A and B are shown apart, each in its own frame.
Chain A
Amino acid sequence: DVKVTQSSRYLVKRTGEKVFLECVQDMDHENMFWYRQDPGLGLRLIYFSYDVKMKEKGDIPEGYSVSREKKERFSLILESASTNQTSMYLCASKTPRGLETQYFGPGTRLLVL
Chain B
Amino acid sequence: QKEVEQNSGPLSVPEGAIASLNCTYSDRGSQSFFWYRQYSGKSPELIMSIYSNGDKEDGRFTAQLNKASQYVSLLIRDSQPSDSATYLCASRRYNFNKFYFGSGTKLNVKP
Which residues of A are in contact with B by a Cβ distance under 8 Å?
31, 33, 40-43, 45, 48, 50, 56, 58, 90, 94, 99-107, 109
Within 8 A of A (CB), among B92-111: 92, 97-99, 101-104
Q: Which residues of A contact B104 (CB under 8 A)?
A: 42
Residue of B nearest to A42 (CB): B103
Asked if A104 and B97 make an inter-chain contact with CB atoms under 8 angstroms apart, the answer reads no
Tell me, in angstroms, the Cα distance from A39 to B75 when the chains sit together.
25
Residue of B nearest to A32 (CB): B97
Tell me, in angstroms, the Cα distance from A73 to B103 when the chains sit together.
27
Asked if A90 and B43 make an inter-chain contact with CB atoms under 8 angstroms apart, the answer reads yes
Asked if B43 and A107 make an inter-chain contact with CB atoms under 8 angstroms apart, the answer reads yes
Counting contact residues on chain B (CB < 8 A from A), the size range is 20 to 34
Tell me if B55 is interfacial: C-beta within 8 Å of chain A.
no
Q: Which residues of B contact A45 (CB under 8 A)?
A: 98-99
Asked if A50 and B97 make an inter-chain contact with CB atoms under 8 angstroms apart, the answer reads yes
Tell me if B87 is interfacial: C-beta within 8 Å of chain A.
no
Known: A45-B99, A100-B92, A104-B43. 18 other contacts (CB 8 A): A31-B97, A33-B99, A40-B103, A42-B101, A42-B102, A42-B104, A43-B44, A43-B88, A43-B101, A48-B97, A56-B97, A101-B34, A101-B49, A102-B99, A104-B36, A106-B42, A106-B43, A107-B43
Q: How far is the CB of A69 from chain B (nearest CB, A)?
A: 19
Tell me, in angstroms, the Cα distance from A90 to B90 when the chains sit together.
15
Tell me if B62 is interfacial: C-beta within 8 Å of chain A.
no
Tell me if B46 is interfacial: C-beta within 8 Å of chain A.
yes
Q: Which residues of A contact B99 (CB under 8 A)?
A: 33, 45, 102
Map CB proximity to A onto B23-48 as digits: 1 under 8 Å, 0 otherwise.
Answer: 00000000010101000011111100
Q: Which residues of A contact B45 (CB under 8 A)?
A: 104
Tell me, in angstroms, the Cα distance from A51 to B5 when the chains sit together.
30
Asked if A48 and B103 make an inter-chain contact with CB atoms under 8 angstroms apart, the answer reads no
Q: How far is the CB of B106 from chain A (nearest CB, A)?
A: 11
Q: How far is the CB of A95 from chain B (nearest CB, A)?
A: 10
Asked if A41 and B43 make an inter-chain contact with CB atoms under 8 angstroms apart, the answer reads no
Asked if A104 and B44 make an inter-chain contact with CB atoms under 8 angstroms apart, the answer reads yes
